[in-house]
Amino acid sequence: SQTIHQWPATLVQPVGSPLSLECTVEGTSNPNLYWYRQAAGRGLQLLFYSIGIDQISSEVPQNLSASRPQDRQFILSSKKLLLSDSGFYLCAWSATGTSEAFFGQGTRLTVV
């Protein structure tokens, strides 16, 4: 069966520090991968979308970047965190040709 792993679950980082959140999918190949952010009390905001290795679309301009070095690995990064980067980050995958997205458990990021 397919599983998605996202870590860490919680993270507290100082302003100006770098960020690296990792997401891996098991049990499937060539998944579509997504990074979302959810600010407190707000809805999901799509950050990045990837249909394959090194094929990444950015949905909104921001202080973040994404990479997909392997088929089932998706990494969200920042060189210098801002206070406004605080939020709940979700990784998700969907199989090519299907429409259901499966989400990781999320990372609660607090920038202080």
Partner 1 sequence: KNQVEQSPQSLIILEGKNCTLQCNYTVSPFSNLRWYKQDTGRGPVSLTIMTFSENTKSNGRYTATLDADTKQSSLHITASQLSDSASYICVVSRYGNKLVFGAGTILRVKS
- Residues within the interface to partner 1 (CB under 8 A): 32, 34, 36, 41-46, 49, 88, 90, 92, 94, 96-106, 108
Cβ-based nearer residue to partner 1, 17 or 96: 96
What's the rounded Cα separation, in Å, for the pair 5 and 106? 9
- Asked if residues 66 and 58 have their Cβ atoms less than 8 Å apart, the reply is yes
Distance in angstroms between the alpha carbons of the first and the last residue of the chain: 38
CB of 16 to partner 1, least distance (A): 27
CB of 13 to partner 1, least distance (A): 19
What's the rounded Cα separation, in Å, for the pair 27 and 43? 29
Measured from the Cβ of residue 31, the count of other Cβ atoms closer than 10 Å reads 23
Cβ-based nearer residue to partner 1, 54 or 100: 100
Cβ-based nearer residue to partner 1, 3 or 17: 3
CB of 32 to partner 1, least distance (A): 6
